[in-house]
Every structure is written in C-alpha cells, then in structure tokens.
Amino acid sequence: MHVRELTTPTLRWINVTRPEKRELDYLAKEFKFHPLDLEDCASPAQRPKLDEYPHYLFLVLIFPLYNRKTGEITPVEIDFFIGEKYLVTVHRSELFPFMQFFDDCRSDLELQKRVMNSADQLLYEILERLLMHAFPMLDNISLDITRIQKEIFAGNERRVVREILGTKRNIVNFRRIMQAHKAMIRRIKEKQSKFCKGKCVMIYFDNLVEHTKDIWDTLENDNDTINALQETNEALISFQLNDIMKLLTIISVVMLPAGLVASIFSTNAEYTPFIGSPWDFWILIGFMGLVALGMITFFRKKKWL
C-alpha cells in the first residue's frame, strides 16, 4: 500500500503517493472522509476547490510542473485533508520538492519537530515550498524570452516562430494553474482558523498570498513581453515577404514589355522589320534590353526601387 506516515505527539501526517482503491479504502475507514472527496482524489481535478466539513477541510490545489522531455509546463494536483490533529496529502509523486520535504521531515528530527506542531503550520510549510518551486520555472521562461528577443533581432525571425508559440503555451498554462491560488489561500486562512486551537500560524499565510501575487505579476509581465515580441517578429516576417513580393512584381513588370516585343516580332507577318537580317536576333535582344532598362529607370525615378 502506497501510504507513508509521520507521527509526532501533536500531529499525524499521512502521505498517499498513489491514490488507488486500496489506499482510498484505507482513508475511508481510518478517517471517515466523504466519498465524493475520495472520488476527487482518484480522478484528476480541473480546478482548485475547498470544501468544509464538521471535522476537516478538503482542499484541492494545482501546481505547475515542467516536463523536461516536452519542454511544457503541465498542471499537477495535490489533495489535502486538514483536520485538528492530522494532515493527509494525496498525490502521484510528481512534484519533487514535495517528496523531498516529506523525506527530509522523516530523516531530520529537528525539522520534523519544527514544522509538525500543527496541521496549519505543516500546510503552510508545504505550500511555501511548492510556491517557491514555481520561481525557477519563471526564471526559465524569462531566459527563453531573452533568447527569443536576441534571435529575432539577429535575423532569425522564421526560426523562432515555434519557440514563441511554445513559450506562450507555457505562460498560458502557468497562468491558468496559478489564477485561483491567491483567492484559495485566503479562503484557507479563513476556514482553517477553526482547527488552530491556540497554535494558529495562519498569519503567515499572508506570505503565501504575496508569493502568488509575485508569481502572477511576473507572468503578466512575461505575457505582455512575449506578445510584443510575437508582434515584432510577425512584422519583420511580413516586411520580408513584402520585399519579396515587391521584387517579384518588379521583375514581372519589367519582363512584360520584353515579352510583348518578342510576341510582336514572332507574328507570322510578311514584312516584319529586322527579321531575316544577319543580326536580327541580337537586334531584338538589344531592343528588349533597352525596354527593360527604361522600365527600371522609370521605377527608380518614382522611387519604387
């Protein structure tokens, strides 16, 4: 069974790493949790939520996870059952900081003694580490944006189109994940006070609200920057395409009179000028060249070239 437990004189921390039927049956028998909450643990949630019951709170939060293989930021769910003398966490072992924190508490008795005095204190410590884990991902997004900016102005507009879209996708996913965190943490602070029993550390949850605000402000700035870079990149590509179309149009217009001259002299007329003379081919080529040169001179005078 994928259930690990840490116990102190004042708190139990039950960590479920794979919420399968056996594990959920254990939670139902041991803590009498609502069946709908256990169903939420078994299936991935689409949004954060907080439900209040007489003896516990059920909390669902979504955190960002960077997939190194695909380069994509994806949502990862962690479920919390918060009681007066216990904290139950349910997840799928995808967030390294969370797993590392549990292992550290297991091996470091001083850390265990410091952070496991109450459920609200342990919840704060977990959320702080998970939110702080988001900042390196923000730094990576900022580095990607800086690299994209350099590539654009180095003349690699077409090559960075896919990178721009990938970065925009990560920012959108990140924003969707973090959108409800600030309001949800404030709700936790309001609801959790009933379980503090004089040892409340909920004032520190204001720090978590500030973390979520900083993350959101950074995402807003990155979103504005990548949108501006995309507009700049599209403008440069459009400018290049306009130059190409302009060149092709000029070539077509210059060659049109030459083609007209060739068509006229290729008609099956009885007395066509120059035709039949020893230099008729070169005379026609020179005449067509003069026409093309005249067209180019006209375009330059009009400043179309």
Sheet of 3-7, strands arranged across: 3-7, 12-16, 86-90, 72-82, 57-67, 49-52
The HSE-up count of residue 92 (CA atoms within 13 Å, CB side) is: 12
Last residue of a domain, one of 239, 265, 281: 239
CATH of the domain at 248: 1.20.58.340
- Kindly report, residue by residue over 28-54, the tens digit of the pLDDT: 999 989 999 998 888 876 688 888 888
Q: Do residues 235 and 246 both lie within one domain?
A: no
Q: Do residues 259 and 215 both lie within one domain?
A: no
Number of domains in the chain: 2
Q: Do residues 149 and 256 both lie within one domain?
A: no
Helical pair 21-31 and 35-42, crossing angle rounded to 10 deg: 150
Please give the Cα distance from 19 to 33 (Å, whole number): 14
Q: Do residues 188 and 172 both lie within one domain?
A: yes
Q: Do residues 137 and 114 both lie within one domain?
A: yes
pTM for this one? 0.78
Residue 246 pLDDT class (50, 70, 90 cuts): confident
**Domain interval for residue 52:** 3-239
Of how many residues is the chain composed?
305
- Kindly report, residue by residue over 128-174, the tens digit of the pLDDT: 999 999 999 999 999 999 999 999 888 888 889 999 999 999 999 99
Please give the Cα distance from 250 to 245 (Å, whole number): 9
Please give the Cα distance from 148 to 250 (Å, whole number): 34
User: For residue 303, what pLDDT is reported?
Assistant: 72
Please give the Cα distance from 120 to 101 (Å, whole number): 16
Q: Do residues 75 and 215 both lie within one domain?
A: yes
Please give the Cα distance from 169 to 269 (Å, whole number): 67
Q: Do residues 202 and 55 both lie within one domain?
A: yes
The counts of H helices and E strands in the chain are 10, 6
Residues 150, 157: contact at Cβ < 8 Å?
A: no
Q: What value does the mean pLDDT take over residues 103-115?
A: 90
Residues 95, 79: contact at Cβ < 8 Å?
A: no
Residue 198 pLDDT class (50, 70, 90 cuts): very low
User: For residue 268, what pLDDT is reported?
Assistant: 63
Q: Do residues 166 and 253 both lie within one domain?
A: no
Nearest to 145 by CA among 174, 118, 104, 185: 174
45-52 CB contacts, 8 Å cutoff, 24+ apart? 45/77, 45/79, 47/180, 48/180, 48/181, 48/184, 50/184, 50/187, 50/188, 50/191, 52/191
Q: Is the pLDDT of residue 253 over 80?
A: no
User: For residue 199, what pLDDT is reported?
Assistant: 47
Residues 142, 220: contact at Cβ < 8 Å?
A: no
Which tokens hold the place of 184? 């949800």
Q: Do residues 257 and 129 both lie within one domain?
A: no
Task: Tell me the three state secondary structure of residue 222.
Answer: helix
Q: Is the pLDDT of residue 16 over 70?
A: yes
Q: Is 286 exposed, middle or buried (0-12, 13-18, 19+ CB in 10 A)?
A: exposed
